[in-house]
Structure 1
Amino acid sequence: MTTRDVVFPPNRHALYERDRYSPAVRSNGFLFVSGQVGSRENGSPEPDLRGQVRLAFQNLNAILEAAGITFDDVVDVTVFMVDPQSQFETMWEVVPEFWGAAPYPNITAVGVTWLNGFQFEIKVIAKLPEGAAG
């Protein structure tokens, strides 16, 4: 088996170790980022919904930065939302702060019943620069 080329952001290592997953894996020219939530450094959810979405994007951006890329390199986005019918517009007010300019990446939005105490999660696939590891 090939050793996974894992990308870790600064901090948050205890969260990944506790829950036994990698924050991101480089493979075949892409970066596959695990779902990021609006967790504080101690792993607890940010209570304010807008703040939780911002923090999820900040956590995502820390991983992208650790891999030497930005959100501009993201090609595929999946977001998971608890109760999207009542919270979608509130969540989506925050997205333009991080989304950048057109053309935008593709997106799939999924309504779920449980996110371990969180209301929003985002996972992405990003294209790595030519010659990058993975």
Structure 2
Amino acid sequence: MKRQMINPGLTQARHYDQLHFSSATRVGDMIWVSGQVGLDLTTATVGQGMEAQARLAFENLKAVLEAAGASLADIVEIMTFHTDLRGDIQAFVKVKDEYLPERYPSWTGVGVSQLARPEFLVEIRAIAVAGCGAD
């Protein structure tokens, strides 16, 4: 099996070329997605508040998975990092449930003191198995 690096659109220049990491790595049907944040990758605008950032992070996650040949339904695990885990958890869960409405994956939520930029509130990383979400 070969390792495939997934870097859709602007992530090739911003992540892979500048910071030396892939947005995702696929080996066989397994896909490991690097942490996605609440940043609009086309405008470099950070979402205002937890709901906006969570929505952007899930949209980024969706785009990376699609580039890897998978979908949000193929996610088997997420790990989320929150700068205010207790204060923002309900807003995050509301958005998470919009993007992952059934067959919930495993989830670990971790409170952290900081993320890559001070305005980031949440980061989502995921593991997916391509094709496992199909009914």
Q: TM-score, normalised by structure 2?
A: 0.84
Residues 1-134 of structure 1: pairs in structure 2 closer than 5 A: 4-16=3-15, 17-41=17-41, 42-101=43-102, 103-116=103-116, 117=118, 118-129=120-131
Amino acid at match of 2:129: K
1:8 touches 1:63 (CA, 8 Å); kept in 2?
yes
**1:63, distance to aligned residue in structure 2 (A):** 0.5
**Cα distance per residue 1:84-113 (max 9 Å; x no partner):** 111111222211110132x21111111111
Which structure 2 segments of 5+ residues have no match? none
Task: Please list every run of 5 or more consecutive structure 1 residues that lacks an aligned counterpart in the other structure.
Answer: none
Alpha-carbon distance in structure 1 between the residues aligned to 2:69 and 2:109: 26
Counterpart residue type for residue 19 of structure 2: D
Aligned residues: 128
User: Does the CA-based 8 Å contact 1:78-1:109 persist in structure 2?
Assistant: yes
* Greater Cα shift, 3-12 or 91-100: 3-12
- Equivalent residue of 1:21, what SS? coil
Q: State which drifts further: 52-61 or 32-41.
A: 32-41
The 10-residue stretch of structure 1 (11-20 or 74-83) with the greater mean CA deviation from structure 2: 11-20
| Partner Cα distance (2:10, 2:51) in 1 | 22
C-alpha distance in 2, partners of 1:33/1:69? 11
How much is the aligned-residue C-alpha RMSD, in angstroms? 2.0
CA displacement, residues 10-35 of structure 1 (integer Å, 9 cap, x when unaligned): 33333213222100001243001000
Distance 1:60 1:68 in 2: 12
> How far apart in 1 are the matches of 2:34 and 2:125?
5
TM-score using structure 1 length: 0.85
Listed one character per residue, the Cα deviations across residues 48-103 of structure 1 (whole Å, up to 9, x for unaligned) are: 321110000000000111111111111111011111111111222211110132x2
